[in-house]
A and B are shown apart, each in its own frame.
Chain A
Amino acid sequence: MPKRKDPVVQFAGVPVRLLVCDDLGIVKGVQAPGVHRFEDAQVVSSWGEPDRAQNPAGCLAVSDTTPQAQGPGLAGSFLAAVGRTFGQISLLDGQTGQQQLLLNIGSSKSSSSNGSESVVGLRFLMTQACGRPQLLSCTHHGLVHIHAPALGSEGDIWEPTAQWTVPANVSSMEVSRDESCMAVGCQGSELSIWDVKSQQQTFLAKSAKPNRIGLVDPPWCSAVAFLPGSDNSKVLVGTGKSKLRLYDTKHGRRPVLDLTFGQSRITSLAAEPDGNRVWVANAAGQIEVLDVRAGNMAGAAKGASGSVRCLALHPTEPLLASVGLDRFLRVHSTVNRKQLCAVYLKQKLNGVTFCPALSQHEAAPEPEDKVPEAADRRKDKRKKHSK
Chain B
Amino acid sequence: MSEHRKSSRKEGKKDSKEDSKKRKREPIGSIDGPTVGQLTSHIANKQVRAEQYAKLKHKAKKEKGAERRKRQEEVQRAENLGIEGPRRKVPKTIENTREKDVTMIAPEDAEVEADDADDEFASYFNREQAPNVLLTTSYRPSKLMFQFLAEMLEVLPCATFYKRQGIALKKIVKYATAKGFTDVAVFNEDRKQVNGLLLIHLPAGPTAHFRLSSVKLSKDIKGHGRAARMKPELILNHFDTRLGHRLGRMLASLFHQDPSFKSRQVATFHNQRDCIFFRHHRYIFEEKQKGKEGTPQVVAHLQELGPRFTLKLQSLQSGTFNSKEGEFEFKYKSKMHQNRRRFVL
Query: Measured between C-beta atoms, what is the minimum distance from A58 to chain B in Å?
Result: 15
> Which residues in window 235-261 of A have CB below 8 A to B?
240-242
Given A305-B336, A344-B102: A325 touches B328 (CB 8 Å cut-off): yes
Q: Which B residues lie within 8 Å of A344 (CB)? A: 102-103, 242
B65 within 8 A of A: no
Q: Which A residues lie within 8 Å of B242 (CB)? A: 327, 344, 346
Query: B322-335 interface mask toward A, CB cutoff 8 Å, 1 = contact, 0 = none?
Result: 00111111110100
Asked if B318 and A305 sit within 8 Å, CB to CB, the answer is no
Least CB separation from B242: chain A residue: A327
Query: Measured between C-beta atoms, what is the minimum distance from B183 to chain A in Å?
Result: 21
Query: B129-150 interface mask toward A, CB cutoff 8 Å, 1 = contact, 0 = none?
Result: 0000000000000000000000
Asked if B118 and A264 sit within 8 Å, CB to CB, the answer is no
Asked if B118 and A306 sit within 8 Å, CB to CB, the answer is no
Stretch among B29-37, B67-75, B106-114 lining the A interface: B106-114
Of the candidates A26, A50, A265, A347, which one forms a contact with B327 in the assembled complex, judged by CB atoms under 8 Å apart?
Answer: A265
B66 within 8 A of A: no
> Which residues in window 43-93 of A have CB below 8 A to B?
50, 52-54
Q: Which A residues lie within 8 Å of B122 (CB)? A: 53
Query: A271-296 interface mask toward B, CB cutoff 8 Å, 1 = contact, 0 = none?
Result: 00000000000011100000000000
Of the candidates B112, B118, B331, which one forms a contact with A305 in the assembled complex, judged by CB atoms under 8 Å apart?
Answer: B331
A132 within 8 A of B: no
> Which residues in window 73-124 of B have CB below 8 A to A?
102-103, 109-112, 114-115, 117-118, 122
Least CB separation from B318: chain A residue: A325
Asked if B114 and A325 sit within 8 Å, CB to CB, the answer is no
**A232-B329 Cα distance, complex, nearest whole Å:** 35
Q: Which A residues lie within 8 Å of B114 (CB)? A: 24, 50, 52-53
Asked if B329 and A326 sit within 8 Å, CB to CB, the answer is yes
> Which residues in window 242-269 of B have CB below 8 A to A?
242
Asked if A307 and B115 sit within 8 Å, CB to CB, the answer is no
**A74-B1 Cα distance, complex, nearest whole Å:** 83
**A344-B110 Cα distance, complex, nearest whole Å:** 15
Asked if A264 and B115 sit within 8 Å, CB to CB, the answer is no
A322 within 8 A of B: no
Query: Measured between C-beta atoms, what is the minimum distance from B86 to chain A in Å?
Result: 34
A263 within 8 A of B: yes
Q: Which B residues lie within 8 Å of A309 (CB)? A: 327
Asked if B325 and A325 sit within 8 Å, CB to CB, the answer is no
Query: Measured between C-beta atoms, what is the minimum distance from B315 to chain A in Å?
Result: 9
Asked if B328 and A283 sit within 8 Å, CB to CB, the answer is yes
Asked if B331 and A306 sit within 8 Å, CB to CB, the answer is yes
Asked if B325 and A265 sit within 8 Å, CB to CB, the answer is yes
Given A263-B324, A346-B109, A346-B112: A326 touches B117 (CB 8 Å cut-off): no
**A283-B207 Cα distance, complex, nearest whole Å:** 14
Asked if B330 and A306 sit within 8 Å, CB to CB, the answer is yes
**A382-B102 Cα distance, complex, nearest whole Å:** 48
Q: Which B residues lie within 8 Å of A241 (CB)? A: 324-325
Q: Which A residues lie within 8 Å of B327 (CB)? A: 264-265, 267, 283, 306-307, 309, 325
A348 within 8 A of B: yes
Query: Measured between C-beta atoms, what is the minimum distance from A305 to chain B in Å?
Result: 6
Least CB separation from A347: chain B residue: B115
Q: Which DSSP category, helix, strand, loop or mixed, fits chain B's interface?
A: mixed
**A225-B329 Cα distance, complex, nearest whole Å:** 25
**A246-B324 Cα distance, complex, nearest whole Å:** 22
**A264-B333 Cα distance, complex, nearest whole Å:** 14
Query: Measured between C-beta atoms, what is the minimum distance from A347 to chain B in Å?
Result: 6
**How many chain B residues touch A (Cβ–Cβ < 8 Å)?**
24
Asked if A347 and B318 sit within 8 Å, CB to CB, the answer is no
Least CB separation from B118: chain A residue: A53
Query: Measured between C-beta atoms, what is the minimum distance from A219 to chain B in Å?
Result: 14
Q: Which B residues lie within 8 Å of A264 (CB)? A: 324-328
Least CB separation from A46: chain B residue: B111
Given A264-B324, A344-B102: A52 touches B118 (CB 8 Å cut-off): yes
Asked if B109 and A307 sit within 8 Å, CB to CB, the answer is no
Query: Measured between C-beta atoms, what is the minimum distance from A320 to chain B in Å?
Result: 19
Query: Measured between C-beta atoms, what is the minimum distance from A133 to chain B in Å?
Result: 31
Asked if B111 and A326 sit within 8 Å, CB to CB, the answer is no
**A54-B115 Cα distance, complex, nearest whole Å:** 11
**A346-B318 Cα distance, complex, nearest whole Å:** 16
Given A305-B330, A326-B330: A53 touches B325 (CB 8 Å cut-off): no
Q: Which B residues lie within 8 Å of A242 (CB)? A: 324
Least CB separation from A342: chain B residue: B102
Query: Measured between C-beta atoms, what is the minimum distance from A353 to chain B in Å?
Result: 20
Query: Measured between C-beta atoms, what is the minimum distance from B7 to chain A in Å?
Result: 42
Given A53-B118, A264-B324, A327-B242: A285 touches B112 (CB 8 Å cut-off): no
Q: Which A residues lie within 8 Å of B330 (CB)? A: 305-306, 325-326
Asked if B326 and A283 sit within 8 Å, CB to CB, the answer is yes
Asked if A305 and B333 sit within 8 Å, CB to CB, the answer is yes
Query: A341-380 interface mask toward B, CB cutoff 8 Å, 1 = contact, 0 = none?
Result: 0001011100000000000000000000000000000000
Query: Measured between C-beta atoms, what is the minimum distance from A323 to chain B in Å?
Result: 13
Q: Which A residues lie within 8 Å of B329 (CB)? A: 306-307, 325-326, 348
Query: Measured between C-beta atoms, what is the minimum distance from A272 to chain B in Å?
Result: 25
Of the candidates A263, A284, A307, A346, which one forms a contact with B111 in the assembled complex, judged by CB atoms under 8 Å apart?
Answer: A346
Q: Which A residues lie within 8 Å of B344 (CB)? A: 305
Query: Measured between C-beta atoms, what is the minimum distance from A43 to chain B in Å?
Result: 11
Query: B301-345 interface mask toward A, CB cutoff 8 Å, 1 = contact, 0 = none?
Result: 000000000000000001000001111111101001000000010
Least CB separation from B111: chain A residue: A346
Query: Measured between C-beta atoms, what is the minimum distance from B2 to chain A in Å?
Result: 50
**A267-B327 Cα distance, complex, nearest whole Å:** 9
Asked if A285 and B331 sit within 8 Å, CB to CB, the answer is yes
Q: Which A residues lie within 8 Å of B117 (CB)? A: 53-54
**A347-B331 Cα distance, complex, nearest whole Å:** 17
Which B residues fall within an 8 A CB radius of A? 102-103, 109-112, 114-115, 117-118, 122, 242, 318, 324-331, 333, 336, 344
New A-B contacts (20) at CB < 8 Å, excluding given A265-B324, A284-B328, A306-B331? A23-B115, A24-B115, A50-B111, A50-B114, A52-B114, A52-B115, A264-B324, A264-B325, A264-B326, A264-B328, A265-B327, A283-B325, A305-B336, A305-B344, A307-B328, A326-B329, A327-B103, A327-B242, A344-B242, A347-B115
Can you offer 8 A-B residue contacts whose CB atoms are under 8 A?
Answer: A26-B111, A50-B110, A240-B325, A264-B326, A305-B330, A306-B328, A325-B318, A327-B103
